[in-house]
Amino acid sequence: MGDGAEREAPAAFERVLELLGASAGALREGKDPTIWWSDELFPAEELHYQLIYLKPQSAFSKSLPDAEVMAGLRAMRNTVALPEGVRLQFTGELALQHEEMEAAMEGVALAGWLVLVLLLLVMGIGVRSIKIILATFSMLAVGVVWTTALAMLTVGEFNTLSLVFIVMFFGLAVDFALHFSLRFLEAIHAGEQRVPLALVLSTRSVGRAITLCTVTTSLGFLGFWPTDYAGLGDLGIISALGMGVAWVLTFTFLPAFYMVSGAPQPRDLALRKGDRIVHWLSERRRGVVMALALVVALSLIGAFQARFDYSVLALKDPATESMQGLRELQREGLSTDYQLVVVGK
């Protein structure tokens, strides 16, 4: 006891007493008496991570099951006054899934509008017919609604992969509409002013080609169907249904539209400098072939450098908060890409 009484108190203990005294003084003066022990226990230059695990209930009946949970967490973070140097981030399975769905829906919407704008620009320059453009976009709108309804009847739901069918439908269905409409315009330009007969001639001219394209493309999409990966399987089924819808609308909706609106004004759509371009390429065919062969060779070099990334995290947006937080934890050795759960019975 004597030796203990004679020894001096450690410096850290004196610091604790100072903090407690300062806290008591602040309490008497009506100030904030809080002591930030983390600032005392951990050096300023050393990063400290505190993981808080939450298991909220998801609302699977909604399109974004975790939207309310994430909105509540973010609102809570905005109301908390964090000390200087302290960051609060949300990551984990729930946050990753929610931000993946948000990114998928925003990406599909952006891609869809971008495709529509580009189609409008290309058709405005190449077709130059308001009636044909209006007929094509009307067919696309009806086709998306029909395909979505068929998807709900067959597959029953969408996922982050099958949502892509909307953009694919725009690109493929517009081909059918333009083939039929331009053949119809060609018949009108050739002197056939009777709309019903011009429509019949158009159907006879491109009907087999469009039907063959529908069958072959649908079979290609259905190749995804037998896979166990539900995302690809659903995408294949929905896309094949979309091709069937585009085929039906090409030979039903478009003729009905032109019967009601009348024939478009006949225009000469020939490429004015097309002969010059073909002649120029024909004269330099050897150089063209060699240039293409060089491009193929360079492409093969790049193709052999391709590698497969087995991590599903590679499909997610690296700029999202959940991915940035997860990558930081991985760099610190606090988390990995995969998790193993062992269930014992």
Delineate the domains of the chain, giving CATH numbers in brackets: 2-64 (no CATH), 127-276 (1.20.1640.10)
Q: Is the pLDDT of residue 336 over 70?
A: yes
54 Cβ neighbours under 8 A, 6+ residues apart: 73, 94
CA distance 103 to 101: 5
Q: What is the mean pLDDT of residues 311-334?
A: 84
Query: Could you tell me if 226 and 237 are in contact, meaning their C-beta atoms sit under 8 angstroms apart?
Result: no
DSSP symbol at 162: G
pLDDT of residue 100: 85
Residue 138 scores a pLDDT above 90: yes
Please say if the pLDDT value at position 274 is more than 80: no
Average per-residue pLDDT for the chain: 84
| Range with the poorest average pLDDT among 2-6, 70-74, 192-196, 229-233 | 2-6
Count of CA atoms in the C-beta half-sphere (13 A) of 241: 23
Classified as helix, coil or strand, 1 is coil
Average pLDDT score over residue span 172-187: 91
